[in-house]
């Protein structure tokens, strides 16, 4: 099942990349912006609660879809791209095993613990 979920997220990542070119952006624009959502980790400088909230906001696929559809309904390609980048980035993260964060620790995600488990 885990392998199937990884392939599903890779497909989402490829779809977001492909759609970014479909709406008129050059192939490299999506790749340039792909890591931008990780700026949300800055919230961890405050504390884990703020960090997890901000991180999850920028990595939630539902938020990405709302941003993209808002861009579509307002005919704003930049907002459409932002939604695709957020969606593609979260799919990429999940394919690599990084999920939405719990409040207790940065490495505690909805997909399990990242790296070695804490004792």
Give tens-digit pLDDT for 37-61. 999 999 999 999 999 999 999 999 9
* Strands 112-113 and 108-109, bridge-based pairing: antiparallel
Q: How far apart are CA 36 and CA 51, in angstroms?
A: 16
Give the domain extent around 60: 2-109
92, part of any domain: yes
Say what the pLDDT of residue 117 is.
Answer: 57
Whole-structure pTM value: 0.91
114, part of any domain: no
Overall domain count for the chain: 1
117, part of any domain: no
16, part of any domain: yes
- Which structure tokens are listed for 94? 């999940």
């Amino acid at each position: 099942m885990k392998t199937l979920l990884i392939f599903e997220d890779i497909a989402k990542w490829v779809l977001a990349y492909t759609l970014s070119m479909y709406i008129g952006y050059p192939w490299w624009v999506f790749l340039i912006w792909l890591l931008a959502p990780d700026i949300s980790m800055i919230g961890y400088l405050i504390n884990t609660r703020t960090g997890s909230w901000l991180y999850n906001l920028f990595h939630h696929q539902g938020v990405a879809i709302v941003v993209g559809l808002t861009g579509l309904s307002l005919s704003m390609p930049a907002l459409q791209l932002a939604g695709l980048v957020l969606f593609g980035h979260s799919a990429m993260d999940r394919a690599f095993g990084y999920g939405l964060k719990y409040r207790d620790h940065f490495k505690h995600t909805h997909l399990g613990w990242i790296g070695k488990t804490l004792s």
